A = this chain, B = another copy of it.
Amino acid sequence: MTRTVIESKTKTVVIGFDEPFCVIGERINPTGRKKLAAELEAGDFSTVERDALEQVACGAMVLDVNSGAVFTNKMAEDARYADNNFVEPPLMRELILRIQAIVDVPLCIDSSVPGALEEGLRACEGRPLLNSVTGEEERLELVLPLVRKYNVPVVAISNDDTGISQDPDVRFAVAKKIVERAADHGIPAHDIVVDPLVMPVGAMGSAGQQVFALVRRLREELGVNTTCGASNISFGLPQRHGINAAFLPMAIGAGMTSAIMNPVRQVEMEAIRAANFLMNHDPNGGEWIRFAKVIEAVEGGMSFAEASAAASQATSGRRGGRRARG
């Protein structure tokens, strides 16, 4: 069976057909968060640290770390800051060091700047996931050598030099090309995690069906794990979380093995934990029963993040206790 192994300093996470769904926390990303970008520019990492702790407590098994910040003030003083090749590599390094200092989960190094990817690879303990390569020729030839050199798995996004195709067969062909090109570089299929690209169902009625069919093909024909930006499916729609919470179990049922998403959301995490149970990836429902206590605490008035943190501390306490007795 296909197993993509990623590691932090001491922890191993396996993305795989026979594993619980891998939740990759998306929040450490200044691209869409101006306030966070301004904090990073000022050297303030408190939001990043809080997001790291909160996402892990809520159930993120891996944290995505995106360094795509625009430093507008510095740019006004020094023209080099207009270049992401200048800004991102040291920022990625700093982000990773800060995050590794407080949580022990594998990281997903996320940048469009090859220099930032390599700086991230140097800074990471364990075996991170690299995010991402695409089918674009330039990107393939820049990223695959890094994947090979550092022996890490990589997210492969199904677009190429012609853009993102609306035709799922074209997106499958792009994924296949990336897997083949990776093989030329000596990279095995089990180290490629394909993102088949999720379109908004509000704009394209077949978007859900496309993803489910693509995931099945990617799994059966290419033998690869899959991931996606799950919340894209509900872009522009009212009551988005309801759409996301049905999409995730359906994608899991079709064979999707991970998603890059916001884990600080009860509805989506509840859907994933229930789907894990229904896929027979939660022996005796132990995880579900623990999670049910978190839902009860939320029903009692706590926020999901607070309730998750409390449950997570209780578990570490018990685990610590067991270790001490062992």
Contact = CB atoms under 8 A, between A and B. Distances in A.
Copies held by the complex: 2
A46 interface: no
Given A202-B285, A242-B295, A288-B243, A250 B278 contact: yes
A252 B278 CA distance: 14
A201 interface: yes
A42 interface: no
Contact of A295 (B239, B271, B273): B239
A275 B288 contact: no
A233 interface: yes
Contacts of A278: 201, 207-209, 233, 243, 246-247, 250
Interface in A272-302: 273-275, 277-280, 282-285, 288-289, 291-292, 295-296
Nearest to A204: B280
A250 B238 CA distance: 22
Nearest to A209: B280
Interface residues of A, number: 41
Contacts of A208: 277-280
Given A205-B284, A285-B201, A277 B243 contact: yes
A212 interface: yes
A68 to B, nearest CB: 30
Contact of A245 (B239, B245, B253): B245
Given A237-B285, A237-B288, A239-B292, A201 B277 contact: yes
A202 B239 CA distance: 30
5 contacts: A209-B278, A237-B292, A242-B270, A249-B249, A249-B250
Interface of A: 201-202, 205-209, 212, 233, 237-239, 242-243, 245-247, 249-250, 252-254, 270-271, 273-275, 277-280, 282-285, 288-289, 291-292, 295-296
Given A237-B289, A239-B288, A242-B295, 5 more contacts: A201-B278, A208-B277, A238-B292, A242-B292, A243-B288
